[in-house]
Amino acid sequence: MVRELEKTIAAIALFLSMVLYAGIVGAHGKESLEQDSCVRGAQGSMVHLSTYQPQNEPTAQYCTDIPKEGETFLVVDLIDQALRNIPVALRIVKGTSEKEDETVSFFRASYHPDGVIGGKTNLDQGQYTVFITGESVPPVRYQYPLRVQQINYAKIARSSIGPTILLLLLTLFGYKFMKSKRMQNWLASRRT
């Protein structure tokens, strides 16, 4: 019985360490550019989008899921030098279609030798799309979906998997412990 208990505790400890380690590795900022969900690539060039809402959380950086509505600062980093030598425009629309949906903000095409496009806009709750267009031949286009103050059910489901498995393991361990001969003998001795 003691050996089974030791094995179970060791298995739970191993499982928890793997879950916690995987969570640390998946944090934004620890991955390479190719794995960063805020980076888009097209025709051999890449851009990176960051959004900020200092009035809500002064140090927080977001990519596509923005927790609150309101004034939002967008920063696009032109990672490749070639993009810094062509005019680049930025358009934010409410919805997913650049031509059919309402344009919320538009930053005209211009050169950005420092590699940074910055601007602010006011976003209400809903879905938006950021279109970044480099005026070259052929044009270079990137797009980012934005979700403002919406519940991300997939993220909630992913974050609840670890605690659910832990709860199931603890329930199984408790059940096995209650059915063990040692526990049955102890309960029988308490009844008399």
**Residue 153 pLDDT greater than 50, yes or no:** yes
Q: Read off the pLDDT of residues 158-172 as tens digits, 9 standing for 90 and up.
A: 888 888 888 888 888
Mean pLDDT in residue range 67-72:
90
Mean pLDDT for 1-17 is 57
Given a contact cutoff of 8 angstroms between Cβ atoms, the answer to whether 148 and 129 are in contact is: no
Residue 25 is predicted with a pLDDT of 40
Q: Which of 89-103, 116-130, 141-155 is least confident?
A: 141-155
**Domains of the chain and CATH, by start:** 2-22+155-183 (no CATH), 36-153 (2.60.40.1930)
In the Cβ-directed half-sphere of 74, how many Cα atoms lie within 13 Å? Answer: 31
Instruction: Give the helix/strand (H/E) hosting 136.
Output: none
pLDDT surpassing 50 at residue 26 = no
> Per residue in 30-66, pLDDT tens?
556 666 778 887 767 788 999 999 998 888 889 888 8
* Phi, psi angle pair for 89, to nearest 5°: -110, 155
Q: Calculate ∠ Cα 51-54-150, nearest 5°.
A: 55
